[in-house]
């Protein structure tokens, strides 16, 4: 191996060790913090959350942390297996022997990598659903539906992903040294299309979405949506209870495809004023243009990503440093894409606190909006019900929450709402 390759191997290993160390330190901080606060409900919540619920949340949080560490160890093994231990090289060579050089071989490499990755991840996915979630009473999915979801997901992924991959591979070969700029433009267009077809065409393959049918709630909700300038047919109820007892609500899509989705499990738990408040929070994401902001940020980040890929794909050490021998007389585009997808999550992990911070700011903004349109106390009590029913811990480690949490910790969020309405 030449010096450049060896140096890159060291960088890769150093990043790998560093992410593992940070992950483990953060997880053990969170473990200790949650365990230490297990025996007493925080004073601010003592009136609404019982000790039983608090201890269930602690047990669930600790079990999820343990599972997460196991999962990330397995991912590290897989990453090393694909790269330095020669898995990707072997797969590439095997497909070359079978299919020869060409676009078909490259697409087969991407497809096979995706399929093998999915299969190697199945035990964890199954354990998560049928052991962990089931143990805490959250699982509702049957094995038959679980398998159906898996097959459907793979088919939809292939149907959408393979043409997109073929287009990018073609650009890499045919569009000259600035191919990455074209590929980025295609990627952005693809994401815009996905944002329209995901809520209207793809999500309905997995769940039923129905307009709200409770007349009493509908009247209140329509008035609120009108007040907030949102199309009245934009609220849907999803049959989340088919898979899990976890409750949620979200805002998705844009233009004519924009919609607020309530899980049926959420509607069952909330009073009409609380439903209003949660809806107002979701409409706050719409009014404050959070999806558009996310898209702009994603555009900037992916432009940097594609430029980096354009450069890395030209460097021999990028391949050899990660355990792959590139072909000297043929394009290595699919290899470059896969190595990039394997490598980039390592440095990107250290950017996740920035994304989490932005997301938490958006949550505060949406809460503040909800408090102007509805009663902040109703949102606070709805959130508390959600924390309780999802067994989310009320006592996260502050550092862990800062690094990972996409939503502000309970005491901050509810504290602000109560401050705003007091």
**Site of interaction with Zn ion (CB under 5 A):** 363, 366
Q: Provide the minimum distance between the beta carbon of 396 and Zn ion in the complex, in angstroms, as a whole number.
A: 17
Within 8 A by CB and 6+ apart from 295, the residues are 191, 192, 195
What stretches of 239-292 adopt beta strand conformation (E)? 249-252, 259-263
Q: Which of 366, 356, 405, 206 minimizes the C-alpha distance to 283? A: 366
State the Rg of the chain over Cα: 24
Closer of 108 and 278 to Zn ion (Cβ): 278
Which residue of the set 282, 363, 365, 412 is catalytic?
A: 282
Closer of 89 and 290 to Zn ion (Cβ): 290
Q: Provide the minimum distance between the beta carbon of 290 and Zn ion in the complex, in angstroms, as a whole number.
A: 8
Neighbours of 198 (CB within 10 A): 16
Q: Provide the minimum distance between the beta carbon of 26 and Zn ion in the complex, in angstroms, as a whole number.
A: 23
Q: Are 417 and 376 in contact (CB under 8 A)?
A: yes
Give the sign of the dihedral formed by CA 390, CA 394, CA 398, CA 399.
negative
Neighbours of 205 (CB within 10 A): 11
Q: Are 246 and 138 in contact (CB under 8 A)?
A: yes
Tell me 256's DSSP state: G
The span from the first CA to the last CA of the chain, in angstroms, equals 67
Closer of 133 and 363 to Zn ion (Cβ): 363
Q: Provide the minimum distance between the beta carbon of 151 and Zn ion in the complex, in angstroms, as a whole number.
A: 32
Closer of 107 and 280 to Zn ion (Cβ): 280
Q: Provide the minimum distance between the beta carbon of 381 and Zn ion in the complex, in angstroms, as a whole number.
A: 16
Tell me 244's DSSP state: B
Residue 282 is among the residues annotated as catalytic for this protein: yes
Catalytic residues: 282
């Amino acid at each position: 191996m030449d010096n450049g390759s060896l140096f890159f191997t060291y960088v890769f290993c150093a990043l790998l060790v560093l992410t593992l160390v940070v992950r483990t330190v953060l997880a053990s901080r969170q473990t200790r913090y949650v365990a230490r606060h297990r025996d007493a409900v925080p004073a601010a919540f003592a009136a609404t959350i019982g000790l039983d619920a608090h201890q269930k949340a602690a047990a669930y949080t600790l079990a999820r942390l343990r599972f997460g560490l196991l999962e990330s160890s397995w991912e590290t093994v897989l990453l090393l297996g694909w790269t330095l231990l020669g898995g990707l090289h072997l797969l590439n060579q095997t497909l070359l022997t079978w299919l020869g050089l060409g676009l078909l071989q490259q697409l087969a490499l991407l497809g096979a990598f995706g399929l093998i990755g999915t299969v190697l991840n199945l035990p964890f996915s199954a354990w998560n659903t049928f052991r962990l979630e089931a143990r805490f009473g959250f699982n509702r999915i049957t094995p038959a539906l679980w398998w159906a979801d898996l097959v459907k997901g793979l088919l939809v992924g292939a149907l959408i992903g393979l043409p997109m991959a073929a287009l990018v591979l073609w650009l890499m070969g045919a569009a000259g040294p600035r191919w990455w700029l074209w590929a980025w433009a295609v990627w952005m267009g693809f994401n815009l299309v996905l944002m329209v077809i995901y809520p209207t065409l793809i999500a309905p393959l997995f769940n039923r979405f129905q307009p709200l049918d409770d007349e009493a709630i509908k009247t209140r909700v329509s008035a609120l949506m009108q007040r907030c300038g949102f199309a009245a047919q934009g609220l849907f109820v999803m049959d989340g209870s088919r898979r899990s007892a976890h409750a949620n609500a979200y805002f998705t899509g844009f233009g004519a495809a924009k919609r607020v989705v309530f899980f049926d499990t959420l509607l069952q738990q909330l009073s009409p004023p609380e439903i209003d408040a949660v809806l107002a929070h979701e409409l706050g994401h719409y009014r404050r243009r959070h999806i558009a902001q996310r898209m702009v940020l994603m555009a900037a980040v992916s432009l940097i990503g594609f430029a980096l890929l354009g450069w890395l794909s030209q460097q021999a050490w990028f391949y050899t440093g990660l355990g792959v021998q590139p072909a000297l007389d043929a394009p290595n585009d699919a290899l470059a894409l896969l190595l990039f997808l394997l490598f980039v999550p390592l440095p990107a992990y250290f950017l996740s606190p920035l994304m989490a911070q932005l997301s938490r700011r958006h949550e505060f903004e949406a809460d503040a909006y909800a408090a102007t349109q509805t009663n902040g106390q109703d949102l606070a009590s709805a959130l508390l019900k959600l924390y309780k029913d999802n067994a989310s811990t009320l006592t996260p480690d502050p550092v862990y929450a800062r690094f990972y949490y996409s939503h502000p910790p309970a005491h901050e969020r509810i504290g602000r709402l109560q401050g705003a309405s007091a």
